[in-house]
Amino acid sequence: MVTLDRPKTNLPVARVKKVDAAAIDLFKEEGYLLAEGVLDVERDIKPVIAEYTALIDRLCRTWHAEGRLASTYEEMSFSRRLSRALNETGDKYERHVDFALPQNGITEETPIHLGPAVFHLLTSPRLLDAVEQFIGGEIACNPIHHTRIKVPQREVPQDRWNSATAQTDWHQDLGVALPEQDVSEVLTVWLPVTKATVENGCLVVIPRSHKGDLAHHCLVTPQKKGLHIPDTYLAEGAPVALEMQPGDLLFFHKKTQHASLTNESDDIRWSMDLRYNPVGQPSGRPAFPSFIARSRKQPERELHDPAKWAQLWLETRRRLAGLPAEQWPPFNRWNNDSEMCA
Residue 73 placed within a domain? no
Q: What percent of the chain has pLDDT over 90?
A: 74
CATH code: domain of residue 284 = 2.60.120.620
- pLDDT confidence bin for 223, thresholds 50/70/90: low
- CA dist list (Å): 341 to 42, 168, 220, 231: 45, 18, 7, 11
- CA dist list (Å): 269 to 83, 194, 242: 12, 6, 13
pLDDT at 151: 85
pLDDT at 3: 43
| Total domains, the chain | 1
**What are 38-62's pLDDT values in tens digits?**
999 999 999 999 999 999 999 999 9
Q: Which residues contact 294 (CB under 8 A, 6 or more apart)?
A: 123, 128, 131, 132, 137, 138, 139, 302
Residue 68 placed within a domain? no
Residue ranges making up the domain that contains 306: 25-44+115-321
Residue 51 placed within a domain? no
Residue 183 placed within a domain? yes
- pLDDT confidence bin for 222, thresholds 50/70/90: low
Residue 190 placed within a domain? yes
DSSP characters over 249-275: EEEEETT--EEE----SSS-EEEEEEE
Residue 6 placed within a domain? no
Residue 69 placed within a domain? no
Q: What predicted TM-score, i.e. pTM, was given to this entire model? A: 0.94
Residue 62 placed within a domain? no
For residues 152 and 197, is the Cβ–Cβ distance under 8 A? no
pLDDT at 45: 98
